[in-house]
Amino acid sequence: MHDTNLLEDQPIAWTPPPEVIERAQLTKFMRQVGVETWDELYEFSIRDVEKFTEEVLKFLDIKFNPPYEKLLDISNGVEFPEWFRRSADAPVPTDAAAASERMLTGAAGVGDKSVHAHSAGLNITEMCLDRWDRLEQEVIERQMQLYESENVDEADALDGEITQAVIWENEQGDVVSLSYAALTRQVERAAAGLKVNGFGFGDAIGIHMPMTVETVIALLAIGRIGAIAVPVFSGYGIEAISSRMNAVKARGLFTCKGFTRRGKFVNARETAAAAVDQVPSIQKVVVVDEIGSGFEMRFVDCGTAMISEAAERLEMFGPPDDTGKKFIGWSRFLGSFGDTSASKTSAEDPLIILYTSGTTGKPKGIAHTHASFPIKAAQDMAFGTDVGRGTRICWYTDIGWMMGPWLIYGALINGATICIYDGAPDYPTPDRIWEFCAKHKVEVLGISPTLVRSLATHGDDLPKKHDLSSLRAFASTGEPWNPAPWWWLFEKVGDSKLPIINYSGGTEIAGGILMGNPLLPQKPCSFPAPCPGMDVDILDDNGNPVEPGKVGELVIKQPWIGMARGFWKEKERYVETYWSRFKNIWVHGDWAMRDKEGHWFILGRSDDTLKVAGKRVGPAEVESLLVAHPLVTEAAVIGVPDEFKGTAMVAFVVRSGDTVVPMSPTGEQNVAGGTGDGDKSVAAPLEAELKALVAKDMGKPLAPSKVHFVSALPKTRNAKVMRRVIRAAYLGEDPGDLSALEDPGAVDEISALHS
C-alpha cells in the first residue's frame, strides 16, 4: 500500500448530541451490562465473547426451548466452534435425524419428532413473528372490547400500538403494508403450503424474486418448516440460477411472473423455468403471478385486524389440488390447509445458504444457521443503526445479496418496520428514493456509495423538495467511500446533522466487522470502531500488529455468533480461504488502516493490491482520486504486466453523463487545463489530466500508465466492481464466473480494448 494514506487526517464531521446518545439502543445495552463508556463495552465484549454473546441474547430476548447448557465451545478448533451445546442425552424434538439422512442420501420423509440433538431448540421465525403477533392480538382484543362498549375514540387510539412489519412500494406507486399479525398469518399459510406440497426439514428451496412482500413471506416460511432458503439475485440468468440450485440439490423454487425496472417488464418466470429444466432435483415451483396483488387488505369492524380478501375466497372454495403440478400459482399455494405451527428446530440447524457475488472467483455458498446470521444481523442493526421496536428502516438491496436477508431477519427480530422500495431508485424521477423516504417516514436509510454518486449528479435541490425530517441516520456497506459523495450525502441530504453509519463485513460474517454507532464521533469514509464482540486487528505480512497510520490485513482473532458454519460442502476451501494465513486467525482479505485517533478505514481487497515500481498500491486510493474529478463518475484500477515496472497501473473511467467534455483537434476527449508548463491556453486531454491528478498526490511512478474511457464498469448487482473480471477481459484471459454481473456488455467493451 502507499506509505501515506489519502484518508488520514480527516476531520471529525459528526459528533453525537446528548439526546442521540440517550435514546440509543447501544446505551440501553451498556446499562444492562453495567459499563459507562464505549471503550469499557468493547473491552468487555472481546475479553469474554461467551458472556458478551449471552448478554446480546438477553437484550434481543431470544428464547431457546430447550435451553443450551454451554454457549460456546472451541475445543475442536476456533475454525469450527460449537454454539448452544446440550449434552448428548438431552432430548430436543426436531426433524434433524431425517434431515441429515435426506441431505446425505436424497431420501424423502419426516423424521422422529423426539430425536436427541446437540444444540438448544430455536426456530428463529418465532423470534421474528410470534412474540410480536401475540402482543398485537392482545391489542386487537382490547380494541374489540372497547368498540363493543362504544368507546370508539379510545379504541381508535390503540391503532398506534399496531406496528407495521413491512411496507412495500413499487415503481408504479402501488403500496402494500402488513402488520406483524397480518404477516404472521401469511407466513403460516405459506408454511402450510410448503408442507402440503411435500417440503420438510432440510430441504433446500430457492428464492428468485425481487424485494417484495412475497419474498419476505417465502423466506420466513422456508425457515418456519425447518427447510433451507437459498436466495439468488432477481436479475440472474439461467446458468447462474441453475448452477446454484444444483449445488444445493434444491427441491423447490419461489419465483414470479415478472417485475418492472425503469418501466420495462422483466420476465422472471421465463428465466426461472429455463433454469429449472436444468435442475432435476426441483419438484415444485411457486410462481407469484402479480407481485403485490394478493394483499388487497380491508379492515374488519375492530379497525385493525387485516384479512386478505384473496385468502377468504380460497377458504370458501377449499384447498387446491395441485399435487400433480410442477408450477403452482401463489394464490392457490396460500390456500393450502395444514399445520401452521413452527417446526421444532435446533439453534444450529441450517437456515440459509447465501452465495457470494463472485468478485474473487467461483461463488461460495455460505452456510448459516437459525442462531448465526439472524442474531448477528439483529445485533448489528440494534447497536449500529439504532433500530428498535417500531423503527422504520429501508435498505436498497436485493434478496440475493446478504443485505436482503439481513434486513428481513434483523428488523423483525428487533420488532422494527421493513421499508422496501422495489424499483430503480431514480425512476421515474431522479428524486424517487427521497420521495419514498418522505412518504413512509423512513428513519434509517441504507444506501451504497455508488448510488450516492449517481444521485449527486442530479443536483443538490432534489432532496430538499421532500420532508426528510423522519431520517435519523444513513447507513452504507458493500464498497469503500471516497470523500466527495460522502460529504454530499452528509451535507446536502443530511444537513450535516445525520451520521453515516459505515458498515463493513461480509456474507461469511453475517454482518459487520467494523461499524459506526450512535455513540462515537465520525470522520468521512471511516469506521469509528469495530462491532462489539468482534476482536479485530490489523496485521503485517509476518502476522504482527501494525502501528497507527500503517496499512495491513484486517483480521479477526476470536469467534463470533454470526461466523459462517463453513462453505456448503467445501470445508477445505473454507479453511484455506480464511484460516490458512495465520494460526487461529481469520484473515478477511481487506486492507485496512487505523489512524492515530482510532478511526478505521477499509482500503480495498488485499488480493487487488498492486505492486508498482516496488511500491504496494491499493486500487481504492487511486480510484478515490480519479472520481474526485468533476468529469468522472466511476473508476476502477487494475495492474497489468509491464516490462520495466513489473506491474503497470491501468485505469478505466466512466465520465459524467451530463457533462460536455471538450474535444482536441485530433478528436480526443479533453478538459480545460494546463499542460504542466504553465500555458493555460492549451487544452490537455482528460487522460493526461487524470494521470497528473494521481501523480500530484501519490507521486509520478504511481500514476496510471493508461486511462481508458468506458460506458460502464463490470459490477455485481450490489455495486461491487469486479476488478478480476476487468483484468481478465483486458488481457484477453478467461474472466471466470460472470453470473453476478449487472451488465455483461461492460465486459465486452473492455475486451474490445484488448483486441
pLDDT tens per residue across span 345-401: 999 999 999 987 544 456 789 999 999 999 999 999 999 999 999 999 999 999 998
Between these two residues, 727 and 719, which has the higher pLDDT value?
Answer: 727
Number of residues assigned to the chain? 755
Strand ranges inside 643-753, DSSP E: 646-655, 670-671, 684-685, 706-709
- pLDDT one-digit tens code per residue, 3-53: 344 556 788 999 999 999 999 999 999 999 999 999 999 999 999 999 999
- Sheet bearing 417-422, strands edge to edge: 175-179, 164-170, 417-422, 392-395, 444-446, 473-476, 500-506, 511-515
Q: How does pLDDT run across 481-512, given as a tens digit for each residue?
A: 888 899 999 999 999 999 999 999 989 999 99
The pLDDT assigned to 614 comes to: 60
Q: Could you tell me the pLDDT band of residue 324, with boundaries at 50, 70 and 90? A: low
Are 380 and 403 in contact by the 8 Å Cβ rule? The answer is no
Neighbouring CB atoms inside 10 A of 351's CB total 29
Overall average pLDDT of the 437-462 stretch = 92
**Residue 244 contacts residue 256 (beta carbons within 8 Å):** no
pLDDT above 70 (res 294): no
DSSP state of 508: T
Q: State the burial class of residue 208 (Cβ atoms within 10 Å of its Cβ: 0-12, 13-18, 19+).
A: buried
H-helix or E-strand spanning residue 473: strand 473-476
- Rounded CA separation 196/328 (Å): 12
3-state helix, strand, coil in the chain (%, to 5): 35, 25, 45
pLDDT of residue 68: 95
How many angstroms separate the Cα of 297 from the Cα of each of 67, 193, 212? 39, 21, 16
Are 207 and 282 in contact, with CB atoms under 8 Å apart?
no
> Where do runs of H (alpha helix) occur along 429-482?
432-439, 449-456
Alpha-carbon gap, residue 516 to 575, rounded angstroms: 29
**pTM score, two decimals?**
0.83
What's the average model confidence in pLDDT over 730-743?
Answer: 78
The span from the CA of 396 to the CA of 419, in Å, is 9
Which helix (H) or strand (E) segment is 286 a member of?
strand 284-288
The predicted pLDDT at position 299 comes to 27
Q: Band the pLDDT of 674: cuts 50, 70, 90.
A: very low
pLDDT value at residue 665: 32
What is the reported pLDDT for 740?
Answer: 67
What's the confidence (pLDDT) of residue 117?
54
Q: How confident is the model at residue 143 (pLDDT cuts 50, 70, 90)?
A: confident
Q: Is there a contact between 284 and 205 (Cβ–Cβ < 8 Å)?
A: no
pLDDT top residue among 187 and 294: 187
Q: What is the pLDDT of residue 102?
A: 37
271-280, 594-603, 653-662, range with the lowest pLDDT: 653-662
CA dist 102 and 105 (Å) reads: 5
List of residues 6+ apart from 381 with CB closer than 8 A: 387, 393, 406, 410, 411, 414, 416
How far is the C-alpha of 370 from the C-alpha of 633, rounded, in Å? Answer: 41
Residue 493 corresponds to which cell in the numbers above?
A: 441530504
Beta-sheet pairing, 444-446 with 473-476: parallel
For residue 613, name the pLDDT band (cuts at 50, 70, 90). Answer: low
- 216 half-sphere exposure, CB direction, 13 A CA radius: 33
Whether pLDDT at 100 is above 60: no
Is the N-terminal amide bond of 428 cis, ω within 30° of 0? yes
Which domains can be identified in the chain, with CATH numbers?
605-754 (3.30.300.30)
Higher pLDDT, 238 or 217: 217
